[in-house]
Amino acid sequence: MKKAAIFDLDGTLLYSLEDLGNSTNAALREYGLPERSLEEIRRFVGNGVGMLIHRAVPQGTDAALESACLKYFQDFYRAHMQERTRPYDGVLDMLDGLHELGLQTGILSNKFHEAACALSRIFFAGRIDVTQGEQQEIPRKPDPAGLIRLMKKLGVSPEETVYLGDSPEDARTAQNAGVDFVAVTWGYRTLDQLREAGAREWINRPEQLVAELRRETRRKG
C-alpha cells in the first residue's frame, strides 16, 4: 500500500513555463544575446537552470558569459517566479485528497533548491510535507539520490512510494530508485516521450491519482 506520493514541480504541480521563459529572455537581453521562443524554453527545461541557460545561449558562448547569464537569470527569477506561475487545475484538491487518504507528500525538483522551496511555500503551504530542489551535494535527476533522500525523510520504502512527473528524467529517476512511476500528460513533454522513457502508467487529470489510490486502499483494506 502506498504511503507517500512525491512529485516533480515544474510541469507536474505548477505551470511555470512563462516565468521561466521571461527570466531566460531577460538574461539573454541583458547580455545582447538572441531571445528564445516559449516552445524552445519548453524543450530546454527539466535538467536544472544551469542546463536551461546552457541550452538557451548560442552554441559556443564563452563560459564566463554563460555563467553571468545564469546568475542574472537566478536573480531575476527570484523576483519574478510567481507572476504567471500557478498550480494546474485540480492539483490542490489532489494534494488534499492524498492527505485525507493518509499519504505523505513531497516535491523532488531539478529547480534550484531555494526557488523550489519558495514556490512550495507560496502555492502549497500545508499540503507538501518535504521539498527537495537541486543542491551541490545532491545530483540532479535522473540520479536517484534526491528521491532516496526524500523517502528517508518521510520514513517510507520504495515499495510504499509513487513518484509523478512529466519528463523522461522523472521516469528514469523512479526506475533508478525502484519506485513506481506515474506520468502526467498535462506537462512539458509528450506522452510518447514519456513512454519511450519507460512510463507504463499515466494520468490525464490530477483527480485520477486520488481515485486510483483510494481503490487500492479499499482492495487491500
Please indicate, yes or no, whether residues 45 and 23 belong to a single structural domain of this protein.
yes
8 is catalytic: yes
pLDDT of the residue at 128: 98
Please indicate, yes or no, whether residues 40 and 9 belong to a single structural domain of this protein.
no
Please indicate, yes or no, whether residues 75 and 156 belong to a single structural domain of this protein.
no
pLDDT of the residue at 72: 98
Cα separations in angstroms, 156 against 32, 79, 191: 49, 35, 29
Confidence of residue 169 (pLDDT cuts 50, 70, 90): very high
Please indicate, yes or no, whether residues 126 and 194 belong to a single structural domain of this protein.
yes
Please indicate, yes or no, whether residues 133 and 30 belong to a single structural domain of this protein.
no
Residue 114's closest CA among 68, 86, 79?
A: 79
Please indicate, yes or no, whether residues 111 and 61 belong to a single structural domain of this protein.
no
Mark which of 27, 61, 80 sits at the end of a domain: 80
Please indicate, yes or no, whether residues 119 and 47 belong to a single structural domain of this protein.
no
Tens digits of per-residue pLDDT, 128-165?
999 999 998 889 999 999 999 999 999 999 999 999 99
Tens digits of per-residue pLDDT, 14-42?
999 999 999 999 999 999 999 999 999 99
Confidence of residue 217 (pLDDT cuts 50, 70, 90): confident
Tens digits of per-residue pLDDT, 60-109?
999 999 999 999 999 999 999 999 999 999 999 999 999 999 999 999 99
pLDDT of the residue at 137: 87
Confidence of residue 221 (pLDDT cuts 50, 70, 90): low
Please indicate, yes or no, whether residues 44 and 136 belong to a single structural domain of this protein.
no
Confidence of residue 46 (pLDDT cuts 50, 70, 90): confident
Q: What CATH number does residue 76 fall under?
A: 1.10.150.240
Please indicate, yes or no, whether residues 152 and 189 belong to a single structural domain of this protein.
yes
Count how many domains the chain has: 2
Please indicate, yes or no, whether residues 172 and 125 belong to a single structural domain of this protein.
yes
Please indicate, yes or no, whether residues 174 and 102 belong to a single structural domain of this protein.
yes
Q: What CATH number does residue 125 fall under?
A: 3.40.50.1000
Please indicate, yes or no, whether residues 115 and 187 belong to a single structural domain of this protein.
yes
| The three cell numbers locating residue 149 | 533522500
pLDDT of the residue at 218: 76
pLDDT of the residue at 159: 97
pLDDT of the residue at 211: 95
Q: Which residues of 122-140 are buried (b: 16+ CB within 10 A; e: fewer)?
A: ebbeebbbbbbbbeeebeb
- Quote the domain boundaries for residue 55: 17-80
